[in-house]
Amino acid sequence: MRYMKTFFRYLSPLGLAVLFLSACSPVVQQVGPASMEAELNGQYLQTPDGEKIPVKIWEASGDPVAIIIAVHGFNDYSNTYAFPGSWWIGEGLTTIAYDQRGFGEAPNFGIWPGQELMVRDLATIVEETREKYQGKPVYLLGESMGGAVLITAVTSEGFPKVDGVILSAPAVWGWQALNPFYQAVLWTAAHTFPDVKLTGQGLGIQASDNISMLRNLSEDPLFIKETRIDSVYGLVNIMDAAYDAAKDITLPTLLLYGENDQLIPKEPIEKIAAELPPGSDIVLYENGWHMLMRDLQGPVVWRDIAEWIKKRQIPSGKKIAALPLFKDE
């Protein structure tokens, strides 16, 4: 992703010898002992280890058709889903979004939570959602890194039952996308100066055509703009795990991708698209960017998601009839 590109550009002039000046390890949040019952309310998820994870709920009026549990991307937080969540209210869909640990207003801002803890928190919120909305279908929605979290979660042993998965530009660009030199450099850097921070400035990478939204994010104190190297290392690990685990998805899946996506390459998307189970759908937006739900055409994506959940229909007409996803250019 853009942070890796920044990292390698920054590192090259320093020389590899600098990497060995200190000996550290990547910092990963540790889960505490289970000491209380989990609880989900309108403001937070109380986890068994005593943390309060911020939660936002956009509650459908009346009896909801289904529940969407929405997982944000890297350096982002639950506000990702403010606009689709408020729009889905009118479609009879209740949306529950939460700040993953290390992001937004969750504990330990900027510190990588680790795959195990991310999956565990998602499992907890699924269980509490099923208890709160008994008998209602529950769907998981993940954008970018959130998609990687979903893939690793639903393919892990003992994960609670859900009714389907929606992957919006899932981050599945892991170690396999880095040549051996870059792999060695990133691993060594994360284990020698893990707290050095990077930005994506100056790379010319655009995440959306919604420029006003991007400007607002740049001024949002809860959106991480300087990223620790060990968080980049952790991100690559979970993207790699998702890349490998996609073949084990058994749930109905909706895969969304924009042809203008400058963050997630086409090759891994093509690979996981070919591995999705029967009953899945793939939608390719020729005018879409990485932040599909916040692009200028975001409402088109919102409606596709809502209708897929309710009727397995794609009203935009952008559904791919047959693979390969990308034709020879």
DSSP character string of 97-118: EEPPTTSTTSSSTTS---HHHH
**What mean pLDDT comes out for the span 267-285?**
94
Provide the β-strand partners of residue 295. none
- The mean pLDDT value of the chain amounts to 91
* Rounded CA separation 292/77 (Å): 16
pLDDT in tens, 54-77: 999 999 988 999 999 999 999 999
Cα separation values, 63 from 5, 67, 83, 127, 136, Å: 47, 11, 21, 19, 9
- Per-residue pLDDT, 253: 98
Mean pLDDT of 174-202: 82
How confident is the model over 89-99, as a mean pLDDT? 98
Superfamily of the domain at 2-311 = Alpha/Beta hydrolase fold, catalytic domain (3.40.50.1820)
Quote the pLDDT of residue 212: 98
Please give the average per-residue pLDDT across 103-128, as a whole number.
97
Q: How many residues does the chain have?
A: 329
Contact criterion met (CB below 8 Å) for 78 and 99 = yes
From 192, 223, 230, 4, select the one nearest 111 (Cα to Cα): 230
CA 169, CA 195: separation in Å to the nearest integer? Answer: 28
Q: Does residue 280 sit in helix, strand or coil?
A: coil
Side chain identity at 252, as an amino acid letter?
P
CA distances from 254 to 166, 185, 305 (A): 5, 35, 8
Listed by start position, the domains of the chain span 2-311
To the nearest whole percent, how much of the chain has pLDDT over 70?
Answer: 91
Cβ count near 134 (within 10 Å): 7
Sign of CA dihedral 58, 226, 295, 115: negative
Measured in whole angstroms, the distance separating CA 116 from the mean position of its chain's CA atoms is 15
Give mean pLDDT, residues 9-33. 59
Q: Name the band, by pLDDT with cuts 50, 70 and 90, for residue 184.
A: confident
Tell me the whole-structure pTM to 2 decimals. Answer: 0.92
Read off φ and ψ for residue 114, nearest 5 degrees. 90, 145
Whole-number pLDDT of residue 37: 95
- Residue predicted with more confidence, 24 or 241: 241
Cα 189 from Cα 20, distance rounded (Å) = 9
Give percent of the chain above pLDDT 90.
Answer: 76
Of 88, 75, 78, nearest to 305 by C-alpha is 88
Query: d(Cα 70, Cα 225) in Å, to the nearest integer?
Result: 22
Q: Residues 122, 38: contact at Cβ < 8 Å?
A: no
pLDDT at 185: 82
pLDDT at 92 (0 to 100)? 97
pLDDT of 328 reads: 65
Count of CB atoms situated within 10 Å of the CB of 327: 5
Q: What is the pLDDT of residue 182?
A: 81
User: DSSP assignment of 13-57, as one string?
Assistant: GG-GGGGGS---------PPPP-S--EE-SSEEE-TTS-EEEEEE
What is the helix (H) or strand (E) element at residue 67, kind and residue range? strand 66-71
The pLDDT score that the predictor gives to residue 198 is: 85
Q: Which structure tokens are listed for 87?
A: 């729009």
- Between 20 and 138, residue with greater pLDDT: 138
Q: Considering just the CA atoms, what is the radius of gyration of the chain in Å?
A: 19
pLDDT of residue 186: 86
Average pLDDT over residues 219-228: 96
